[in-house]
Amino acid sequence: MLGVIVFAHGSRDPLWRAPVEAVAAQIRRADPSIPVACAYLELSEPDLPTAVVRLIAEGVTHVRVLPLFFGMGKHAREDLPALMAQLSDSHPGVHFERLVAAGEDPRLTTLLAQIALESRP
C-alpha cells in the first residue's frame, strides 16, 4: 500500500507549517485511500523516521516522499538521500521513493510564473 510523506525543512514558527499541511490535506482530498503524513528535517515534529513508522503501522509498504524544497540545495541533495538510505536499511520490507524537489518540477515553476502574471483587481 502506498503512503505519502510531505517533507519540509521545519521552523519554530507554528504558522510556517500551514502550507505544508495544506499540501497534505490536498493529497488526502484527492485520494482519501492513501495515508498521508507531514515530516520535517529539523525544528518541527514529526521527523521523517517517526512519520515513516506511523505510516508503516497503517499498513504502508511503499513510502513516497515529496520534498517541499524550492531547489536542490544541501538538504535535498545530501541530507534527504542519506535519511532515506537509513530508512531503507531500517525497514527492508518497505519500498522508499523520493520525488524530485518541488521547485525542480517544471509544472510548479510554470504555475508560479502564471501566478506572477495574473491580472488581479
List pLDDT tens digits, range 87-118: 999 999 999 999 999 999 999 999 999 999 99
* Full strand arrangement of the beta sheet holding 95-98: 36-40, 2-8, 62-67, 95-98
Whole-model pTM over 0.85: yes
Residue 93 vs residues 17, 37, 42, 56: alpha-carbon distances, Å? 30, 19, 26, 10
pLDDT over 90 (residue 76): no
Tell me which H or E stretch contains 90.
Answer: helix 80-90
